[in-house]
Structure 1
Amino acid sequence: MDFKLTEEQELLLESVDEVCERFGTEQYFKECDEKHVWPKEFTDALLENGFQSLGLDEQYGGTPVDTQTLMLVAERMCKNGVPIYIYGNLCALKDMTEYGSDEQKEQCFAEVAKGNPGFVLGFTEPGAGSDSSALASTYTRRDGKVYLNGSKSFMTNAVNSKYMLCVARNSEDDASLRENRSKFSMWWVPLRDDEGNLTPGISIEPLEKIGWNMGNTCELHMEEVELEEKDLVGTEGNGFMQAMVNFEVERLIACAQSLGAAECAFEDATHYATQRIQFGKPIGKNQLIQEHITEMYMKIENMRNWVYKTAWKIDNGEPVQIDSAVAKLYCGRAAFEVIDTALQVMGGIGYTKDCRISRLWRDQRVYRIGAGTDEIMIHIAGRAIQKLYQD
Structure 2
Amino acid sequence: MDFRITEEQELLLESIREIMARDCTEEYMKECYEKGDYPTRFEQALAENGFSLLGVPEEYGGTPVNTMTMMLVAEEITKNGGPHFVFGQALSIADMLEFGSDEQKRDTMEAVKAGKVAFVLGFTEPQAGSDSSAIATTFKRRNGKVYINGHKTFMSNAARAPYMLCLARNADEADNPDKKNAFSMWWVPMDAPGVKIERIKKIGWHMIDTCEVYLEEVELEEKDLVGVEGNGFMQAMINFEVERLYIAASLLGMAECAFEDAARYANQRVQFGRPIGANQLIQEKITYMKMKIENMRNMVYKCAWEIDNGISVQISSALAKLYCAQSANEVIDDAMQIMGGIGYTSDCRISRLWVDGRVHRIGGGTDEVMIHIAGRAILKGYK
Q: Taking structure 2 as the reference length, what is the TM-score of the superposition?
A: 0.99
Structure 1 ranges of 4+ moved more than 4 A: none
1:294 to 266, 270, 287: 287
- Please name the residue that 2:164 is paired with: 164
Paired position in structure 1 for 2:308: 315
**1:204 corresponds to 2:220:** no
The answer to whether the 8 Å contact 2:53/2:89 transfers is no
Backbone CA RMSD of aligned residues: 0.8
Match of 2:181 in 1: 182
Equivalent-residue separation in structure 2 for 1:212 and 1:167 (angstroms):
25
Q: Which residue of 1 aligns with 2:297?
A: 304
SS in 2 for 1:151: strand
For residue 119 of structure 2, what is the aligned residue in structure 1? 119
1:181 alignment partner AA? K
Q: Deviations over 1:343-378 (max 9, x none)?
A: 000000000000000001111000000000000000
Please give the alpha-carbon distance, in whole angstroms, between the structure 2 residues aligned to 1:180 and 1:115: 37
Q: CA deviation at 1:112?
A: 1.2
Mapped partners of 2:174, 2:261: distance in 1: 56
CA distance in structure 2 between the partners assigned to 1:163 and 1:4 by the alignment: 40
Measure the CA separation in 1 of the matches of 2:30 and 2:12. 26
- Equivalent of 1:386, from 364, 379, 383? 379
Q: 2:15 aligns to what?
A: 15
Q: Offset at 1:218?
A: 0.5
Structure 2 SS opposite 1:166: strand
Q: In the TM superposition, what is the alpha-carbon distance from 1:85 to its structure 2 partner?
A: 2.8
Distance in structure 1 (CA, Å) of the matches to 2:305 and 2:39: 32
* Structure 1 equivalent of residue 210 of structure 2: 217
- The residue aligned with 2:190 is 191
Of the three residues 314, 320, 334, the one matched with 2:327 is 334
Compute the displacement of 1:113 (Å). Answer: 1.7
In structure 2, how many angstroms separate the alpha carbons of the residues matched to 1:262 and 1:85?
16
> In structure 2, how many angstroms separate the alpha carbons of the residues matched to 1:210 and 1:86?
20
Q: Give the Cα separation in 1 of the matches to 2:365 and 2:356.
A: 16
1:109 aligned partner, one-letter code: M
- Cα distance in structure 2, aligned partners of 1:67 and 1:293: 30
Q: Which amino acid aligns with 1:232?
A: L
Is the CA contact (8 Å cut-off) linking 2:55 and 2:63 kept in structure 1? yes
Identity of aligned residues (%): 64
Q: 1: distance between equivalents of 2:202 and 2:38?
A: 15
Q: Distance in 2 between matches of 1:88 and 1:323?
A: 20
Aligned to 2:247: 254
Evaluate the alpha carbon distance shift between residue 334 and residue 45 of structure 1 in structure 2; reply closer, same or farther with a 3 A threshold. Answer: same
How far the C-alpha of 1:174 sits from its partner, in A, is: 4.1
Cα distance in 1, alignment partners of residues 345 and 41 from structure 2 = 25
Q: For 2:328 and 2:318, how far apart are their aligned partners in 1?
A: 15
CA distance in 2: counterparts of 1:59 and 1:116, whole angstroms: 20
CA distance in 2, matches of 1:159, 1:60: 26
Distance 1:87 1:29 in 2: 16
Matches of 2:54 and 2:372 in 1, distance apart?
Answer: 32
Indicate the residue corresponding to 2:367 in structure 1: 374
- Residue 29 of structure 1 corresponds to 29
Q: Which residue of 2 aligns with 1:76?
A: 76
CA distance in structure 2 between the partners assigned to 1:61 and 1:256 by the alignment: 25
Task: Give a deviation string over 1:103-152, Cα, whole Å, max 9, x none.
Answer: 10011111112211111010000110011110000000000000000011
What CA distance in whole angstroms lies between the structure 1 residues aligned with 2:174 and 2:193? 29
Structure 1 CA distance for aligned equivalents of residues 290 and 37 of structure 2: 33
Structure 2: unaligned runs, 5 residues or longer: none
Which of 344, 353, 356 is residue 351 of structure 1 equivalent to? 344
- 1:351 partner amino acid: Y
What number of residue pairs does the alignment pair up? Answer: 383
Once structures 1 and 2 are overlaid, which stretch shifts more, 105-114 or 148-157?
Answer: 105-114
| Aligned twin of 2:47 | 47
Q: Which runs of 5+ in 1 are unaligned?
A: 193-198
- Output one character per residue of 1:205-263: Cα deviation in whole Å (capped at 9) or x when no partner: 01000111000000100000000101100000000010111100000000000000000
How many angstroms apart in 2 are the aligned matches of 1:86 and 1:353?
Answer: 22
